[in-house]
Amino acid sequence: MPLPVSMLRELNADIDGDSQKIQDFFVEMLRIKSVNPKMGGPGEQQRAQFLEDFLRSEGFQVSRIDVRDDESRMNRPNLSSRLEGSDPSRTLWYVSHMDTVPEGSLGLWKTKPFEPTVKDGKIIARGAEDNGQSLVASLFALRELKKMGAPLPFNVGVWFVADEEFGSTYGIKRLLSGDHFKKDDLVVVPDAGTPRGTDIETSEKGLLWFKVTVHGKQVHGSLPHKGLNAHRVGMKLALDLDKSLNGKYRARDNLFDEPSSTFEPTKKDPNVPNINTIPGIDVFYFDCRVLPRYSLADVISDVKMKIARYEEKYGVKAEMVEEEKDIAGPATPPDSEVVVLLAEAIKRVSRVKPRITGIGGQTVGNLFRNKGIPTAVWSTVDDMPHEPNEYSKVKNLLNDAKVFAALPLLA
């Protein structure tokens, strides 16, 4: 149905009127450290309880799916709540995540990362943008729809999930293996965006993280002829992989914000603690974001062939381990219902012209697409995820809440 101007004004006025409440809630939530336990943090349990308590205090029913993480020896919570629509067989879901990455180097922060600072219209804290802003925006959009009491064409709900920052094993992957989502659902994942909120992401690159371990022979630094320097061979192999992978998979696709596939050597494990020992083990990692036209299996095959050549040439033993792999799902069609409704809501609320794009950074949107559920990824952010001094602009928080509330009223 067309969204009457009077209803849009009411919606906008309500959210603006609650701006201080929304901001205060956001700050309080960000004080709860929810760093992924696989990254040394306490996990999402305390934040999930905070959100569940708030939803129940607002009169919402809450479903909670706890997934046991035996490695971390804790439960990983996933929360959902929804409003019923005239067609209860379909649901518009806003899906955001509760976990964050660690703060990184504290010396690069101007404020304390887990003591939110409000300054110059920004809320500065770890997790403010990734993914706190969108979580709070979708929560207060749902609250606004409940408050307005306008008839909804279908159900509208939120999922606040665990483990997005480390592969989603205890979050969306587990939920998608059950019956929590249907093929006819509409899914918005507000976990990537641009400063003006123009970009609706409908496609993502394939993701491959791999580790290579090179085994040589450790000896005293003054007797290199007695050993085999795994670090030297590892450095050569990493640089060779960098050159060969970027050289072979060099096609461009201008749909994506980074139009080429990328193969980046990133993490490096310590080898020996002292300078005067030649290392017998060298370990390095790559982060690969691969255009959908290419096969991740082909990339993996090329890496293993290169490793085999180095084993033969230098006499080392080496192996590759896949740390994470997600095949690029089919792109969401630009004329799909979720994209059309989201684009109209953006135009009506933000007064900007949306455009369709793809990204290299993976979101859980790719997991939905691989299950055949068309998904749109969108938010209004300054693209600060994982950076020191990460922040959310209050105006973006309120704007996105308005867009999320308006979207189902346009159906």
Hey, which residues are catalytic here?
A: 99, 164
Helix (H) or strand (E) holding 81: strand 74-83
Other CB atoms within 10 A of residue 395 CB: 12
Give the C-alpha separation, 286 to 18, whole Å. 45
CA distance 282 to 234: 6
Phi, psi of 210 (to 5 degrees): -135, 155
| Short-list 53, 52, 30, 155, CA closest to 94 | 155
Distance, CA of 269 to chain centre: 24
- Please report the sign of the dihedral spanned by the C-alpha atoms of residue 400, residue 195, residue 375, residue 45: negative
Given its phi and psi angles, is residue 114 left (phi above 0), alpha (psi -120 to 50 degrees) or beta?
Answer: alpha
Q: 66 in the Ramachandran plot: left (φ > 0), alpha (ψ -120 to 50) or beta?
A: beta
ω into 131 cis (within 30 of 0): yes
